Amino acid sequence: MTTPIEPLAGSLEEKLRTLEHMQRATLNILEDFDSEKQRLEQVQRASLNILEDFDAEKTKLEGVQRAAINILEDFDEEKRMLQGVQRATLNILEDFNAEKTLLEDSQRALLNILEDIDVEKAKVATANQQLEAANKELEAFTYSVSHDLRAPVRHMHGYADLLKKSALSALDDKGRHYLDTILDSAKQMADLIDELLAFSRLGQAQMKKIQVNLDGLVQEAVKTLRSDMEGRNIVWKIDPLPEVYADPFMLRLVLVNYVSNALKFTRTRPQAKIEVGTRDNQGSEAVVFVRDNGVGFNMRYADKLFGVFQRLHRAEEFEGTGIGLANVRRIIHRHGGRAWAEGKVDGGATFYFSLPKSRKGE
């Protein structure tokens, strides 16, 4: 609400002076107002600048805040990842501890097994020593008994032969039969003693191993048995054979025995077929076989073939002492090899042996 101006008191001059004063005061007020207005405008502009700066700072702050929030979010993600890694590490450590426990248990079990093996090895070594001593005693006993039996058997055969020559005419048919039985039995006994002596000597003989050409040994074995082939129809098939590391004298006995058996047990065949060959010779071991189409044998008794005095046929059918194949197995085992046989009744037989090809196979 505007305040009314009161009328001026005094003379005209005084009124004019008063009016001038008022006018100047008004001008001063207006000047002060302009000045204040300018100042106010400056303050307003400063305020606007401040507000603009504040908005810029606010924007920066918001950017910083958003960056901080992103950092915090990344930090939370990293924290979660780190916690996951920490849990995985703890699981790995737990698994490691479990594996470590298992490994320690396995190690203890292995140590126990090794201790048991050492104990068993000691037992086996002791048993082998005892067995070796027993075998030596048995060989010495066999040799001694066989040697001591030769003289009485030789005397028995000699005197029976003299009796046959000097008193044959005085004997009737039954007496002659008895005398022939004594002579045959004495001869069989002498042959058996000779085989026992040979078997005993094989266990004591020193082996002299060299690289041996089996082809030559087979030919020697066949030549040795030429008298057993007279008047017979025999088809031979002898394949090339590998060289082996062996004692040639002992190996010759093996081949003579195998070929002799093939000749013996094909005697009833109109045409005998005998094959000497080899198989499975890719490794360090050579496998040699002698196959025939003879009377064969029942595989149920295959394990008995290589035993001492073991025979699968009657003496009336096929002669023999039952020691030949035992000699074969003994020789082959001393060489670090194997000896075995396969057959079928009336379907032939195949006899095998394996030997190392070189010194490395020992």
The string of pLDDT tens digits covering residues 267-292 is 889 999 999 999 866 677 889 999 99
Whether residue 22 is contained in a domain is answered as: yes
Whether residue 218 is contained in a domain is answered as: yes
Q: How many CB atoms lie within 10 A of CB 167?
A: 11
Residues 200 and 297 in one domain: no
Residues 160 and 254 in one domain: no
What is the predicted pLDDT for the residue at 255? 92
Residues 160 and 260 in one domain: no
Domain final position from 204, 221, 237: 204
Residues 174 and 315 in one domain: no
Distances (CA, A) of 199 to 45, 204, 228, 325, 334: 132, 9, 23, 10, 13
Q: How many CB atoms lie within 10 A of CB 117?
A: 11
Residues 243, 246, 252: CA angle, nearest 5 degrees: 90
Residues 280 and 335 in one domain: yes
Residues 232 and 330 in one domain: yes
Residues 120 and 184 in one domain: yes
Residues 247 and 182 in one domain: no
Tokens coding 314: 């009657």
Residues 185 and 264 in one domain: no
Domain final position from 163, 189, 204: 204
End-to-end CA distance of the chain: 137
Query: pLDDT of 311-337, one tens digit each?
Result: 555 555 555 556 778 888 888 988 889
Whether residue 10 is contained in a domain is answered as: no
Whether residue 52 is contained in a domain is answered as: yes
Residues 70 and 102 in one domain: yes
Provide the domain count of the chain.
2
H, E, C per residue of the chain: CCCCCCCCCCCHHHHHHHHHHHHHHHHHHHHHHHHHHHHHHHHHHHHHHHHHHHHHHHHHHHHHHHHHHHHHHHHHHHHHHHHHHHHHHHHHHHHHHHHHHHHHHHHHHHHHHHHHHHHHHHHHHHHHHHHHHHHHHHHHHHHHHHHHHHHHHHHHHHHHHHHHHHHHHHCCHHHHHHHHHHHHHHHHHHHHHHHHHHHHHHHHCCCCCEEEEHHHHHHHHHHHCHHHHCCCCEEEEECCCCEEEECHHHHHHHHHHHHHHHHHHCCCCCCEEEEEEEECCCCCEEEEEEEECCCCCCHHHHHHCCCCCCCCCCCCCCCCCCCHHHHHHHHHHHCCCEEEEEECCCCCEEEEEEEECCHHHC
The residue written with tokens 């025995």 in the block is: 257
Residues 227 and 200 in one domain: no
What is the predicted pLDDT for the residue at 319? 59
What is the predicted pLDDT for the residue at 237? 95
Residues 173 and 281 in one domain: no
The residue written with tokens 């001063």 in the block is: 28
Contacts of residues 267-273 at CB distance under 8 Å and 24 or more positions apart, as own/partner, are 267/232, 267/294, 267/318, 268/294, 268/295, 269/293, 269/294, 270/233, 271/233, 271/234, 271/235, 272/232, 272/233, 272/234, 272/235, 273/234, 273/235, 273/237
Q: Residue 349: give its domain's CATH number.
A: 3.30.565.10
Whether residue 285 is contained in a domain is answered as: yes
- Residues (pLDDT < 50) of the chain are 361
Q: How many CB atoms lie within 10 A of CB 74?
A: 10
What is the CB-side half-sphere exposure of residue 116 using CA atoms within 13 A?
A: 6
Whether residue 113 is contained in a domain is answered as: yes
Q: How far apart are CA 284 and CA 358, in angstroms?
A: 7
Domain that residue 164 falls in: 17-204
Whether residue 65 is contained in a domain is answered as: yes
Domain final position from 188, 204, 220: 204
What is the predicted pLDDT for the residue at 361? 44
Whether residue 345 is contained in a domain is answered as: yes
